[in-house]
Structure 1
């Protein structure tokens, strides 16, 4: 069994390659049950989350089986450790033989950011000026780079509850050649942004829909459980809603689950998922003034597609 480290993933992957692999996977489809989610109680009074995300090819005998094991431990920040840790096991679909073990955290940030960029191909305004990144965690630089790979931006703003973290990320993105700076006021940044990408563990809405400019695109990848939320009710009232998968985003993501439960949002208001966007069943953005919102909670199909891509690239590499 080959082991692909985080450094290998970063060396093998490009945003274009991963985005295209995800597009092809969403068109073809796979068997991907709703992820198993378990709350792990800790002796210190806190909680962690265990996620199990299996997926397999429609024709498993001629394809692949995979599973990602994820832990989300918010308390890790106090120990200067990542809140999210994961491993991915890719197996031969015919025999079940383990073929590849991939660093799950690296795989996750790549596939999550690229799923948002894939959606942005169909939903983001064609000629945006400002990208706003909300949050400055491990995923945030990937979100910025993925969005920049599918649209040209004049500037990138970064907001985080900790101003120092926002400034650090802005400096990192500036080294990539982007005109990036920290935003001191979130509301003002939201009002200026053409595209907003949020990747936080917030339990209270951060993005106010009343501030969104006509034609804005909102990309929400945090708030992966029903009790978390990054946007308020006005966001979903004003926006055309799109999701990575119906089952995951509607049932698990608080940005949609909460307004659906309260009656603010109707189920039929969700326009399309990534399968429908990628297959051409829905054209995506309809006008320059349309406000669009993409809610992602992550899909096992994305992990499987990224792991298969990693397997192919590892086989081609002499160093892996």
Structure 2
């Protein structure tokens, strides 16, 4: 069999967000039960602060390997910072089946994890969402929100007002988008999604009942988007407990007691064949997303199903 390669546009078409969220919920439970083998990512240093990431995962139905490079210096070269692909293999024969665009899989499954957290902890259609950040991952989140919550209003905070305005203009056809420059965050905001690589908190409000705070952008111990004041008053969840202990700089810098932190799978319950979120009774929740290969496997399950 000839291995099929799918570029970024094709990978987007093969991973629709509603199906991706459902697949991630299932993969989350599978991983918690040990039905997906997903070892810690292997990181190999490259020149000028770059890195190569190797992330394999295997289940009974398929096996995947995501191999991507991350080169921050590419911003100076007007090049994408992430390159690579996700290869999919038959777990019985080891035969290579297909390959998806790595940055697209990463961006879409990360945004879909946020959607799953919203479905799990918010338990209602969000009215107003604050995006903190205007980079590539923020764009993926806009597309995800437009696909699942098209009626929501999105406020955008960037490094500058001009950047936030440009981002809103770029995505004006997706959702109701408004730049937000004021220091105070409106009470009407029920979801805050932090998508920066900041080394100091960009959100440190008193924990607000009924508001979900999602941390996505900080991915090293030196980075922190969410402050200790917010964490102190919130129920704390992560998508991958093992990875979070090493990568969730928000929690690490705040000195969070890891006994307080639960995995997303702990909040998912199965009812009548569907997966739903456990009720937090309106308590403030902070959800930290660090990612793992099991989520890439979930995206590949969706792609294979779409291909038939």
Work out whether the TM-score is over 0.5. yes
| 1:242 counterpart SS class | strand
Match of 2:115 in 1: 117
Alignment of 1:273 with 2:263, yes or no, is yes
Per-residue CA deviations over 1:183-235 (Å, capped at 9, x if unaligned) read 123x323765210111222222111133x533211111111111111111112
Determine if contact 1:127/1:152 at 8 Å carries over to the other structure: no
Alignment of 1:299 with 2:284, yes or no, is no
| Structure 1 gap ranges (5+) | none
| 1:174 counterpart SS class | coil
| Structure 2 gap ranges (5+) | none
Q: 1:293 and 1:125 mapped to 2: Cα distance?
A: 15
Match of 1:66 among 64, 67, 70: 64
Match of 2:231 in 1: 236
Q: 2:43 and 2:188 mapped to 1: Cα distance?
A: 37
- Shift >6 Å, 4+ stretches: none
How many residues get paired? 298
Match of 2:176 among 176, 179, 186: 179
Decide whether aligned partners of structure 1 residues 75 and 163 sit closer, same or farther in structure 2, where only a CA change above 3 A counts.
farther
Match of 1:310 in 2: 303
Q: 1:202 and 1:191 mapped to 2: Cα distance?
A: 24
Per-residue CA deviations over 1:142-183 (Å, capped at 9, x if unaligned) read 21332455557542111111433322221233212x221111
Match of 1:31 among 18, 37, 61: 37
Q: 1:237 and 1:153 mapped to 2: Cα distance?
A: 32
What's the Cα RMSD here? 2.2
Determine if contact 1:130/1:157 at 8 Å carries over to the other structure: yes
Per-residue CA deviations over 1:58-113 (Å, capped at 9, x if unaligned) read x3xxx322111122222221222222223111111112221111100111111000
Decide whether aligned partners of structure 1 residues 232 and 207 sit closer, same or farther in structure 2, where only a CA change above 3 A counts.
same
Decide whether aligned partners of structure 1 residues 154 and 31 sit closer, same or farther in structure 2, where only a CA change above 3 A counts.
closer
Quote how far apart the aligned CAs of 1:18 are: 0.8
Determine if contact 1:131/1:153 at 8 Å carries over to the other structure: no
Quote how far apart the aligned CAs of 1:297 are: 0.6
Alignment of 1:199 with 2:195, yes or no, is yes
Quote how far apart the aligned CAs of 1:4 are: 1.2
Match of 1:99 in 2: 97
Quote how far apart the aligned CAs of 1:304 are: 0.9
Q: 1:242 and 1:83 mapped to 2: Cα distance?
A: 28
Q: 2:269 and 2:44 mapped to 1: Cα distance?
A: 33
| 2:109 counterpart SS class | helix
Alignment of 1:250 with 2:248, yes or no, is no
Determine if contact 2:17/2:112 at 8 Å carries over to the other structure: yes
| 2:165 counterpart SS class | helix
Determine if contact 1:218/1:292 at 8 Å carries over to the other structure: yes
| 1:209 counterpart SS class | coil
Equivalence map 1:143-182=2 (5 Å): 143-147=141-145, 149-151=147-149, 154-176=152-174, 178-182=175-179
